[in-house]
Amino acid sequence: MSPASGVLVIAGPTASGKTELAIEVAQKFDAEIVNADSRQIYRGMPIGTAAPTPQQFAAVPHHLFKFLDPAERYSAARYSEDAVAVIAAIHARGKRAIVVGGTGFYVRALTGAVNLAPQYDEAVRERLAREARVHDAEFLHAWLSVLDRARAGAIHPQDSYRVLRALEVALAPHSGNREGRITSLRSAGILFLKVFLTVNENALRERIAGRTDAMLQAGFVEEAERVGEGAVAATAVGYPQAIAYARGWSTRAELRELLIRATRRYAKRQTTWFRSEPEIVQALSADVERLARETLQWVEA
């Protein structure tokens, strides 16, 4: 096994300390970081998505962060292809790769634990467009729950865009052959270790509350207004609540409580998703370095 082989995937609920841990491990093992957060891919949203700070970006090379406009659509299939290409380039430079993020379907697609079609059936897409004009978001989410309970549990019922994309995957016909499947670490023959960070529930609640206060102080409401409610990325946790506050629909204290509640629910959905993630290893932050040494045979640079 070459020094650069293998990929460490660090997943976990929001506010679990993934970013800080990834940077620490990357510095020790001469690695570069690849994003697996479906909202940190967007520009102009550093506060609400808890993106790495300029100092953290400068500490180690980061990839697939802040490269899309908030209005642009981006699928798990496209992410998997982009991430595998980035990882291959990192390995070609003799470096190691650490994937970090809490978007379960991105991680599942990247590691080849789900079959994705590069293009969805147009008839299915047209049907769903009609359904979306007739039915509300909760109806569509309930439909998804019948077809794919695990994925529905990881998507907020009001996140219409992600619900519709998930329904496309669930309803699109897939052929039985391997042609056309999206590139993944598995299909590329790249060894990987998937770790899900376990965090004490009370500690996580405190972190979420602290992060919420820091976001509000840093100008989250103004950021949400700049993004605008019509953007694809505006369905991210917290943005609808911030925009509602800006319109006068809640007080500052109510906004804080709504943000904390929404973030806690999101963390719970992430935890539920990763409990059923194939090949996942649950571990404390302190154990991740040891697991990388034992499983990927990583040694300090």
pLDDT for the residue numbered 119: 52
Cα 38 from Cα 267, distance rounded (Å): 14
pLDDT for the residue numbered 239: 97
Q: Give the three-class secondary structure for 129.
A: helix
pLDDT for the residue numbered 179: 40
Long-range own/partner contacts, residues 168-177 (CB < 8 A, 24 or more apart): 168/120, 168/121, 168/124, 168/125, 168/128, 169/116, 169/117, 169/120, 170/144, 171/121, 171/124, 171/127, 171/128, 171/147, 172/117, 172/120, 172/121, 172/124, 173/121, 174/115, 174/117
Residues 6+ apart with CB under 8 A from 133: none
Per the DSSP assignment, residues forming a β-bridge with 99 are: 9, 34
> Quick one: which of 173, 135, 170 has its CA closest to 155?
170
pLDDT for the residue numbered 291: 97
pLDDT for the residue numbered 22: 98
Which value, in Å, is the radius of gyration of the alpha carbons in the chain? 19
Cα 198 from Cα 182, distance rounded (Å): 30
pTM more than 0.95: no
pLDDT for the residue numbered 134: 78
pLDDT for the residue numbered 138: 84
pLDDT for the residue numbered 161: 79
Cα 154 from Cα 219, distance rounded (Å): 27
Per the DSSP assignment, residues forming a β-bridge with 41 are: none
Strands 96-100 and 31-35, by their bridges, are parallel
**pLDDT less than 50: residues of the chain:** 3, 175-181
Alpha-carbon dihedral angle through residues 14, 15, 19, 20, given to the nearest 10 degrees? -160
pLDDT for the residue numbered 2: 57
CATH class of segment(s) 202-269: mainly alpha
Cα 80 from Cα 116, distance rounded (Å): 10
Place of tokens 């520009």: 43
Domain ranges of the chain: 7-116+181-200+278-296, 122-171, 202-269
100, amino acid identity: V
pLDDT for the residue numbered 120: 55
CA angle 41, 53, 107 (to 5 degrees): 35
pLDDT for the residue numbered 175: 37
- Given phi > 0 = left and psi -120 to 50 = alpha, else beta, which region is 6? left
Cα 50 from Cα 39, distance rounded (Å): 9
Q: For the domain bounded by 7-116+181-200+278-296, which CATH number is listed?
A: 3.40.50.300
